[in-house]
């Protein structure tokens, strides 16, 4: 079976004045259906650039991203629209991506409208909110009425509205208090099991990644330094850099 997402020799670069910043440099890996791949590395190592390029939110300089067998760089029209449903992103700061002037119900409903969801939209909104552990009645409330963790739940409900199979979670827990991080992490794990989602779970925090990822990629300066099943990476990291990352974090989520 073709992997859900197949990345080969991907390069993403930016121009900064005369200089070219190679944020992602010849990166290759796969994400299987229902699999969670953790992506770790220091700030500036290229994690977000990689995650965004997979979703075509950043231009692919060279190399290839296949999603369900199709080259994402070549998608347009209905195929691009279908891809935009199948693959979603969850950001660190949902406050920045939720419109403060409209209710969260309306925010979620807009996604259903854009993607021409056929059915009772209000019922679907309530169902989505309940799926992420919020009361259906919270549809009437505005983003500022929610806590940080609740806003991340709303962002998750919005992402799930169009029934994606792949989610890039980019530092989705990083802005939250540790106790709230654990709750949202549990929710993400529960949802992936329930819905069969695959994640590219990006975090600078290896402790968080450990409890969700099946496999981990360690990124440094635009390259994948190491890739291993989660337990193996923690038990016997091959690189000094990985050992340093591992040593740097306390681990409240250890399984």
Ligand X SMILES: Nc1ncnc2c1ncn2[C@@H]1O[C@H](COP(=O)(O)OP(=O)(O)O)[C@@H](O)[C@H]1O
Footprint of ligand X (CB under 6 A):
14, 16, 21, 23, 41, 43-49
Distance in angstroms (rounded) separating the CA atoms of residues 62 and 102: 40
> Which helix (H) or strand (E) element contains residue 159?
helix 148-160
Nearer to ligand X, 47 or 215 (CB): 47
Least distance from C-beta 54 to ligand X, angstroms?
A: 12
Least distance from C-beta 45 to ligand X, angstroms?
A: 4
Q: Which does 150 bind (CB under 5 to 8 A by kind): ligand X, Mg ion, none?
A: none
Q: Which does 102 bind (CB under 5 to 8 A by kind): ligand X, Mg ion, none?
A: none
What does DSSP say about strands 19-31 and 166-170: parallel, antiparallel, or unpaired?
Answer: unpaired
Nearer to ligand X, 41 or 237 (CB): 41
Q: Between the CA of residue 2 and those of 6, 31, 76, what are the distances in Å?
A: 8, 10, 21
Distance in angstroms (rounded) separating the CA atoms of residues 9 and 31: 15
Nearer to Mg ion, 128 or 167 (CB): 167
Q: Which does 16 bind (CB under 5 to 8 A by kind): Mg ion, ligand X, none?
A: ligand X
Give residues 25-64 in contact with Mg ion (rule: CB under 5 A).
47-48
Least distance from C-beta 180 to ligand X, angstroms?
A: 22
Residues 6+ away with beta carbon under 8 Å from 104: 98, 129, 138, 139, 141, 142, 143, 146, 154, 157
Nearer to ligand X, 44 or 148 (CB): 44
| CB-CB contact of 175 with 13 (8 Å) | no
How many residues sit in the footprint of Mg ion (CB under 5 A)? 2
Nearer to ligand X, 45 or 242 (CB): 45
Least distance from C-beta 62 to ligand X, angstroms?
A: 16
CA R_g for the chain: 18
Q: Choose among 215, 209, 193, 205: nearest CA to 255.
A: 209
Closest residue to Mg ion, judged by C-beta, is 48
Q: Which does 44 bind (CB under 5 to 8 A by kind): Mg ion, ligand X, none?
A: ligand X
- Classified as helix, coil or strand, 246 is helix
Nearer to ligand X, 24 or 139 (CB): 24
Give me the residues that bind Mg ion (CB under 5 A), please.
47-48
């Amino acid at each position: 079976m073709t992997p859900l997402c197949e990345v080969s020799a991907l390069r993403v670069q930016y121009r900064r004045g005369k200089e070219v910043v190679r944020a992602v440099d010849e990166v290759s890996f796969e994400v299987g259906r229902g699999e969670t791949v953790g992506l770790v590395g220091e700030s500036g190592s290229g994690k977000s650039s990689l995650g965004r390029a997979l979703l075509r939110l950043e231009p692919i300089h060279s190399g290839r991203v296949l999603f369900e067998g199709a080259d994402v760089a070549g998608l347009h029209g209905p195929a691009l629209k279908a891809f935009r449903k199948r693959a979603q992103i969850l950001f660190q700061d949902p406050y920045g991506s939720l419109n403060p002037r409209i209710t969260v119900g309306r925010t979620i409903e807009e996604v259903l409208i854009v993607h021409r969801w056929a059915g009772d939209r209000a019922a679907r909104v309530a169902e989505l909110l309940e799926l992420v552990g919020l009361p259906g009645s919270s549809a009437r409330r505005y983003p500022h009425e929610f806590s940080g963790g609740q806003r991340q739940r709303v962002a998750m409900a919005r992402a799930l509205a169009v029934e994606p199979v792949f989610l890039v979670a980019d530092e989705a827990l990083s802005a939250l208090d540790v106790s709230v991080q654990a709750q949202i992490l549990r929710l993400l794990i529960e949802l992936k099991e329930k819905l069969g989602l695959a994640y590219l779970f990006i975090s600078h925090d290896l402790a968080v990644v450990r409890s969700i990822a099946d496999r981990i990629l360690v990124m440094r300066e635009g390259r994948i330094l190491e890739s291993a099943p989660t337990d193996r990476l923690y038990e016997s990291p091959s690189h000094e850099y990985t050992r340093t990352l591992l040593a740097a974090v306390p681990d409240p989520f250890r399984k």
